Every structure is written in C-alpha cells, then in structure tokens.
Structure 1
Amino acid sequence: MQLRGFSSTSSRVFDLISLWILPVGYFLLLCALFFLPGRSLHHKLFYGLFSIPALIALCLRPQGFRELVREPMIVALLVFVAWAMLSLSWGPVDGESFSGMFKPPLHTLLLFVGCYLLVRYRSDILAPMLFVAAMVALIATTCFLVRFAHHYEPGARLVGGGAFDNPLLSSHLFGFFCAYWMSVSMSCRHGRLLWLSLPAMLVMFAAVIATGSRTPLVALTMAALWLSFICWNRRSLVMLGALATVGISVFCLFSKMITERGDSYRFEIWQIALQKIAEHPWIGHGFNADLAIDPGVGYNFQEPHSFFLGVLYYVGILGLLPWLFFQAWGLLSSWRQRVQPLLIIASTWLVFGIGAGLTEGGGIISRPKEHWFLLWIPLALIAALSINQRARRLLTVPVQKLSATGLQPLAADAQVIEEDGLGPKVLRLTDGSFLKLFRRRRWYTSGNFNPYSERFAINSEQLRRMGIPTPQVLNLYRLDDGSSAVHYAPLPGHTLRQVLQGITAPAVRQALVERFGKFMARLHEQGVYFRSLHLGNVLVLEDGEFGLIDLADLRIYPSPLSLSLRQRNLRHMQRYTEDKRWLFEDHFDALLQGYSTTASRAAVDNLHRQVQQGGRPARAH
C-alpha cells in the first residue's frame, strides 16, 4: 500500500513538472530578459523552473535517459562536455572549486533534458508558447524603439530595457526573434498570421539595425537563405527577392554604420587567438583557462570573438570535433524531418546562431545568457524534436494543400456520414475510406497552431504504438478556406453502442460491458484521456478487440490519469441515455469488475462512489 502511494505521489510530481513547471520555465527562458531587471534573476528562474525540475523528473523516470542517449546529438554533446571536464586536469589551477566549474555544463545538459520532456508531454503547447514569447519580445522591442527614437542622438546605439546592458548582446535576442517571425512568414498557413509576422519581422529587424551591430545582419542573411532552402516554395522566391532588396537598402542607408568602425580589431584578435591556440592545438588550454587578448588598444578582450576559435582555445581540435558534429547533425536532422514546422523554426535559429557566432562570443559553456540563444537553445529544441519525431509522437505525415477543385473529384459520389449547418463533416468515399473535415478556427486559437486533423493523425499513431487499434491515416489536407481534413482507412467493426443494441441476452451484454470496463481502465492507466469517450467512439472489431475512433479530442498524459480526470470521463459517458443505462444501471457491477482488473482500488472506489452519488446526466448530443 505504501509503495502504491509513493508511486502515485511520484507520478503526480512528474506530471506537475512535465505539464506545467517546464513550460513556464521555458517560456521565461525565452523572453524574460526583455522585462527582468538583471541576468541574475533570469538565472534563478531558469534553475528553479526548468533546470532543477528537469533533474527531478529525470530521477523520477530514469528510463527516459535511454531514449535521450539514442540521439546522436546528445551523444556528441555528452562527449563534448566530458572532454571539457577532463580538460580541467591540464588547465590552470585557480580558486574556483570543481563543483563550481561543473554547474554550467550540468545546467546545459539539463536544458536538453527539459526540452525533451517538454516536447514529449506538451508538444501541443510548444507552438503557441513560442508565439506568445515572440509577442512579448515584439511588444517590449517596440517600446525600446519608441524610447530610443525619442531620445536619439547621432552615434547612439540601441541597448534596450530589461536585463539588456550591451547593444551587441541585445542584437542577439532581437535577431533571434526576427528569425522566428521570418520562419513564421515562410511556414504559416493562415493569412492573418502572415500579415502579423511581416510587420513583426520589420520591427525586430529595425531593432537589430538600431543596435549598430553588423554580425546579426550576416546571421539573418544566412537564416533567410536557409529558410528559402528548407521551405522551397513560391514564398522562397519572394524571400530571396526581399533579401536582395533589403540588403541593398541597408547598405545604401546605413553604409556609414557598416564601414565606419572598420573590422573592430577582429582580425588582430583572431591572429593573437590563433597564436595561443597553436600552443596546444589538440587538447586546448583547458575549460577553466583564462584568455586575455590586447590587439594594441591598451585593454584586454576576454573572448576571441568567435565561437569556433573559443572552442579551439579551450578544448582544442579533439573538443572541436563533437562541437561541429552536433551542429551539423542538427541541421541535417531538420532537413530530413522538415515536415515538422517547429524544426524549421529551430533550425533557422541555429543557422542564425552559427552566423552570429562567426565574429562574436567564445565562452564554450556558460550560464544562461544571450549567447545561449545562438547555440544551446536552438540545439536543445532540435534534439528534443528529433527524438520525439523518431518516436512518432509528432506529425510524420506531410500536409498537402487541397483546393476546392481538387476536393470535388475526391468527394464525388461520397456518402455523407455526418454533417452540420455548414455542410458535410464526415464522408465515406467510394473506395471505403473516410474523409473527416475540421472547420476553420480563429487564427489565435490552439486549433490554428495545432489543427485538429493533425491531432487526429498524431493521436492515432501514438495509440497504435501503445497497442490500441485506431484508424490508419492516409493523408492530411489543408483546404483553401482554412479548414483541414484527414483521410483515413476505417477500422473494420461496429460501434459498441450498435453491438449492445443488437444483443438481446443480458448475460452476453453483461460480459461485453465487463470487457469494456477492463478496456477503459487500460486507457486510464496508460494516461489516455479521451474527452469524447462514449460508446459511439469505441469500436468492437472483427476479432472482438476494442478500438477507438474520432481521435482529435484526445490527450495522452505522462502517468495514469488522476481521479478527477477519470471522473470527468465518466460524467461525459453519463450524458448519453443508453450508455448510462447499460453501463451505470443495468450492468454497473460488471463494469466495476472489469475496471478493477487493471485499475487501483482507489480508482474503483472513486468510480463506484461517483455513480452512487448520481452524476447529473446532461442532454445528449
């Protein structure tokens, strides 16, 4: 009993972390620098709301580590971190403890762990969360620009508010979110979102220009070229044309800004850094080594102003190899799995970071700060998406565009199975397959970021991998009017409601209800919360097993469902008169008997108590 109670408590803690704490922590990691008073608070928020919770979750479910280490990017990262820690043995001896040097790599690794858990259990919220974070950045940046323009003096450079204190570092975040809006403009499916992304991109680009930093302009050019390549379509031609136009305009309007500061001692810094690298080219000077470069200006630079040179200086060629590998593998994985829009965004961020890191940075592993937006944040998201894409928890079927003229031959002579005031909703096509239509949603709703047709496909695949029969998705479509559709092969069988209606022998019906109770308990114990669970959405297959249909309104939780979610499932089934009579009146004991074979005693007692209290059935629909 104590063991079961501990298991239940650990499951609730894991659910709280995966479903709520990690999303909040990731959101603040992305946008909190725009409004926090300093970086130290940003560090604490990351540690308390993302890094430490991710560590606790990994300790509660250590089996997740096996899936992590199957990802080549994670393996390369572990090799890189291990080599960096090993380099402490030949680095300089200073007063900082080993534990202090170990914390930055640990928190970097936990960023990857947290992103993996976030994508695995809350992939539905990821796209809306990125959008809201980008909106926070957009609003804050607009305020920064207005204030900057109001107090502008010749030669001034935009720093921004919040935790920003350096125009070059500020440009990293402005460019990061400019790359986001650029990605949205290339991949969004709704006109309103497109028309929002274009001015948002211009605002963030204006902020980059106002910082007076030139490297982000190169990085954004690289990001635009990558987007044109990975999303090759008609918009790519527009992107390339706009890139040329903007490039010429920026050079003409801001040529003084681009040329007046010369090379900012970059070549001198790089030459001195290469001389120092040549002293220990293979193993580097050590992760904890100091770096001081004076290019002849009377003061020292603490970074080589290049991530590439920084890696060579600290961990040498042997450390550079895994560093180069996980970036190259991230881009290759994004290209291979470009059906996933989030990978397009993440890979664009990575390309932007690679471009910005050509002449900026140098600290290879640091606490959370602006440099994380150039490397670790994009890489962690790509790794998480790749792992879960390979496990088929994300969309794997490409979405095809379907015009009204293309829909007509597909739906010709089809039988209307379900319709509403706007027209057909479910069609049985002439080949026996089904086409289910989902109406257009408002652009700012979750249905826009995660269309219900795609939810249907993802849920179907996940349930099939759990051993629960579901329809086989054949195609996904996006219609001209903003609606979506899923084309699937039906399961052979009849709904449980139809089967029960055709049974006249009470004993046979009772046995079937008992089997359904066992099936329902299996769903609940596997974390499947099917909001629309009723006897019309459960099929009795030809082999006697149960299957599920109408899967868009379904969610899979990390742990067995809580008692409250099970109650909500039961209340929904009590809304249907026939379902209520068969399950909760005539054969309730059989339902409990089947449910108890899998579910815990507490869950069975909860079901019994709820039905005895007489949940009020709502009007069926």
Structure 2
Amino acid sequence: MQATRWAQVWMTMGLLWFLLAIAFAPTNKIYQQGLVALLWLPAMVFAWPARARLRELLYEQRWVYLPMLGLLVWSLISLLWTIDPDPTRGAKRLLYIAVFLLFFPVFADARPERVIRVMQWGCIGLALGALLAIIKFYWVNGNSWYGRIEGLGQLSHPILGGYVIGLAAVWLVHWVPQTRWMRGVWAVALALLGMFVVLSQSRGAALALLLSFLAMPIWCRDRRSRIVAVSALTLAMLAFWFLEPLVMARGVSYRPQILMASLQMISEHPWTGLGLGGNYKVMADGQYFDHAHNLFTHVAIELGLPGLLLWCAVWLAVLREAWKARETIYGQGVIGVWLFSFLAMQFDAASLTGTPRAEWFISWLPIGLASVLVWARVKTDACDKISRSS
C-alpha cells in the first residue's frame, strides 16, 4: 500500500514540506499543521502495511533503537518531576518524534534513491530560499553588507538559519544529480547555500561546514571529494581574509562561561535532571542565557546523566550504521550529515524534544535518514556477490 503512486506522492509532499516550509511557511503554526497532514498522518496510516520493513529495520539497527526506546521511556519518566507546568506537552512531543522517525523507512520502502531524490529537490528549494533572503535583506531592506543576514520564515535567526542551510549544502555535495543540466543547477545551488552561511556570520555553522568538507575524503575516497576539500579550504581562507574583523569582533560569545555554568547545573541534579521540557536559564558572567548552547549539556540538564548516556548511545550507533554503508552514495551522505550535525550541536543547539523546528535538522533528521541505511547496504552487498560470482 505504501508503494502505490498516490501514497508516494503524499509522503513526498510531506518530506518536501518538512524541508522547505521551514523557510516558506508564513507562520510556525501553519508549518506544524502541514507536518501533521502531510508527514505524521501518512506515516501512521502506512505503518501497518510496511510492518515487514519495520521489523527488518528494528532487527538490523537494534543498537540504534534499543537506546532510543530507553531515551523515550526515560523522558516519559522524567515528566514525574519536571518543572514544566504542562507535562502532557512533553509526552505529545515525544510522540511527534517517534512518528517522524517512523516516516523514513515507510517512505523509502527499501529504496534509498527515493530519499536522495527528494532531498536533492528540497536542497534546491532551500537554495532558492537563500537567494530570496539575500535579495530581501540587502536590496529590499537596504541593510549594510556586513549585517548578519536573516533567512525567511522560521530561519530568520542567523545562527539557526546558518545551520539548516549549511546542512543542506552538506547533503547536496554528497548527492550529486546524474544529468548534466541538473549538475549546473546543483553547482549554482551549492554556491548560494555556501554564500548564505558566510553572510549569516554564524561561526559555528561555517566551522561545521568547513570541517565536514575537509573530512569528506576520509569516507568518499575519490577525486571529487578531494576537490571539494581543497576548494572549501581555499574559499574559507579567502573569506577569513576579507571578514576577519567581523569574525573576531564577537570573541567567544560567552561560550566557555556558559559551558562552566551548565556543568554546575548538571552537578546539582546529576541523575534526574530538571525533567523533560524543563524551562531553565543559564547564568554566566552575570548574564542570563535561554539555554546551554550545547545539545549534550542541554540533554544532561533536562534528563540527567542517564538521558545523556542514552542520547550518546543513539548518536554513536547512527555513526556506526552509516560507516558500515560508507561504500554507498547514501551512506556517504549520511556520514556527512552526521558530522556536520555533531559539530553544530557543540555551539548553539538548544532543543532536543521541542516541536519541529530548525534544530530538528541537526538532531532528528540524521537519525531518520540513517534508518534507510539498512537497504542501501543490502543493495551493495547484493551487487558485490554478483560481481564475485561472475
């Protein structure tokens, strides 16, 4: 049933909505409503017809989903002591996360190329959004060229916008279209995405993007990845040469002080944390900050050390699964997405279990994409067996 044409169109619209409406939806409420209708609903409708695929996934990636189950259960238990005045809100968000992760294996239906194709089109759409944001910010609104660009829609925050656009550049550089004219579109889109990250002046996004490109030859091991790495390093050096005053002006933005204050908060509730959805502020250097600016310390503050260990187990298991499929185009893309997301988490990520938002691109999207690795690896193994027998 999930393989029928109308079902695939429905789910394709859902994934494109998740990728593009973050920038183009007029309000966050409309974005959430669209996800319910186009992504959550088909995932639940087609879960039962796709149960054989899901059983295969849970068996092959049990080292991902056992700690994931533990994390979800521990998060639910933490609602008993949470400081959130409405604990049911946290439980509902956990359901959203579970259904979101369910969507990818149901949609792919053992065909990773489906996901790659939609992600490519989503990336081109985000590149168009980046171009429109550049035009609006500098030409329509008349801001100075050294102003920090703001994206469209939910990407209006320079840091979060930089992370989403930077991540899109990472999966686009791994998943190159096959046709010549589409490769021209690909090159323009990649240039626009990179330009947006630079103009956002988000040092965390720029550093994560640079390191992801530099490390690309480790798992790709081809001429194209080496060209990407050298080109990225050259462009980074030129950008730093021209933008050094802007890059250095903000110093370290209180990150060391926030880290030390976060560790102090963790030590006060090491085993239980504040509970899922606990609204907290970090006091550092005489100032209050809305979050820990680091996803791992944020998880430890909310869910304690047990939650942190479970999240680390999930995150490392995703890398393990991606590395096993590193000989495939899909696996290489997931490794790149994982590395960028891991680096981005260290600087500004502030939410793990919030409603779908920009942070989901660097937390739950890599895990969702990794669920399709099972069939990418199976296809490669089958091709290897055929080549050895011939």
TM-score (norm 2): 0.90
Distance 1:323 1:248 in 2: 35
Root-mean-square deviation (Å) = 2.5
Distance 1:232 1:135 in 2: 26
Q: For structure 1, which runs of at least 5 residues remain unmatched after alignment? A: 1-10, 400-471, 476-487, 490-621
- Following superposition, the deviation at residue 74 of structure 1 comes to 1.9
Which residue of 2 is the match for residue 591 of structure 1? none
Match for 1:270 among 246, 254, 259?
259
- Alignment CA distance shift 1:225-1:322 (3 Å): farther
Which residue of 2 is the match for residue 160 of structure 1? 151
Whether contact under 8 Å (1:19, 1:121) holds in the other structure is no
Q: Does the residue aligned with 1:320 lie in a helix, a strand or coil?
A: helix
Distance 1:18 1:74 in 2: 26
Match for 1:284 among 270, 273, 289?
273
Distance 1:158 1:278 in 2: 38
Confirm whether residue 38 of structure 1 aligns to residue 27 of structure 2: yes
Whichever residue aligns with residue 288 of structure 1, its letter is G
Q: For structure 2, which runs of at least 5 residues remain unmatched after alignment? A: none
Which residue of 2 is the match for residue 579 of structure 1? none
Confirm whether residue 218 of structure 1 aligns to residue 131 of structure 2: no
Which residue of 2 is the match for residue 20 of structure 1? 9
Distance 1:61 1:119 in 2: 10
Match for 2:226 among 218, 221, 237?
237
Distance 1:278 1:398 in 2: 52
Whichever residue aligns with residue 182 of structure 1, its letter is V
Whether contact under 8 Å (2:163, 2:344) holds in the other structure is yes
Match for 1:50 among 27, 32, 39?
39
Kindly tell me the number of residue pairs found equivalent between the two proteins.
386
Distance 1:235 1:398 in 2: 23
Q: Does the residue aligned with 2:103 lie in a helix, a strand or coil?
A: helix
- Following superposition, the deviation at residue 73 of structure 1 comes to 1.3
- Following superposition, the deviation at residue 49 of structure 1 comes to 1.2
Matches within 5 A, 1:599-610: none
- Alignment CA distance shift 1:77-1:122 (3 Å): same
Whichever residue aligns with residue 35 of structure 2, its letter is F
Matches within 5 A, 1:245-264: 245-264=234-253
- Following superposition, the deviation at residue 158 of structure 1 comes to 0.9
- Following superposition, the deviation at residue 121 of structure 1 comes to 5.7
Whichever residue aligns with residue 16 of structure 2, its letter is F
Distance 2:54 2:322 in 1: 22
Which residue of 1 is the match for residue 367 of structure 2? 379
Distance 1:66 1:81 in 2: 19
Whether contact under 8 Å (1:51, 1:111) holds in the other structure is yes
Distance 1:130 1:183 in 2: 11
Match for 1:365 among 346, 353, 359?
353
Whichever residue aligns with residue 388 of structure 1, its letter is W
Confirm whether residue 310 of structure 1 aligns to residue 332 of structure 2: no
Match for 2:314 among 312, 326, 350?
326
Structure with the bigger RCO (C-alpha within 8 Å, sep 6+) is: 2
Whichever residue aligns with residue 347 of structure 1, its letter is I
Which residue of 2 is the match for residue 96 of structure 1? 86
Distance 2:108 2:50 in 1: 16
- Alignment CA distance shift 1:50-1:17 (3 Å): farther
Q: Does the residue aligned with 1:201 lie in a helix, a strand or coil?
A: helix
- Following superposition, the deviation at residue 374 of structure 1 comes to 0.7
- Following superposition, the deviation at residue 239 of structure 1 comes to 2.7
- Alignment CA distance shift 1:226-1:189 (3 Å): farther
Q: Sequence identity of aligned pairs in percent? A: 20
Which residue of 1 is the match for residue 122 of structure 2? 133
Which residue of 2 is the match for residue 177 of structure 1? 168
The C-alpha deviation readout for 1:356-401, integer Å capped at 9, x for no partner, is: 1101123221211000111211111112x123346x3x444569xx
Which residue of 1 is the match for residue 75 of structure 2? 84
- Following superposition, the deviation at residue 33 of structure 1 comes to 1.8
Structure possessing the higher radius of gyration over alpha carbons: 1
Whichever residue aligns with residue 283 of structure 2, its letter is D
Q: Does the residue aligned with 1:294 lie in a helix, a strand or coil?
A: strand
Distance 1:296 1:252 in 2: 31
Whichever residue aligns with residue 161 of structure 2, its letter is S
Matches within 5 A, 1:456-471: none
- Following superposition, the deviation at residue 80 of structure 1 comes to 1.1
Whether contact under 8 Å (2:322, 2:332) holds in the other structure is yes
Distance 1:59 1:236 in 2: 40
TM-score (norm 1): 0.58
Whichever residue aligns with residue 157 of structure 2, its letter is N
Whether contact under 8 Å (2:22, 2:153) holds in the other structure is yes
Whichever residue aligns with residue 37 of structure 1, its letter is P
Distance 2:53 2:230 in 1: 45
- Following superposition, the deviation at residue 28 of structure 1 comes to 1.0
Whether contact under 8 Å (1:18, 1:121) holds in the other structure is no
Whichever residue aligns with residue 96 of structure 1, its letter is D
- Following superposition, the deviation at residue 274 of structure 1 comes to 0.9
Which residue of 2 is the match for residue 301 of structure 1? 289
Confirm whether residue 388 of structure 1 aligns to residue 375 of structure 2: yes
Match for 1:338 among 326, 331, 344?
326
- Alignment CA distance shift 1:165-1:29 (3 Å): same
- Following superposition, the deviation at residue 67 of structure 1 comes to 2.9
Q: Does the residue aligned with 1:375 lie in a helix, a strand or coil?
A: helix
- Following superposition, the deviation at residue 220 of structure 1 comes to 0.6
Greater strand content: 1
Distance 2:149 2:383 in 1: 42
- Following superposition, the deviation at residue 184 of structure 1 comes to 3.3
Confirm whether residue 73 of structure 1 aligns to residue 64 of structure 2: yes
- Alignment CA distance shift 1:23-1:75 (3 Å): farther
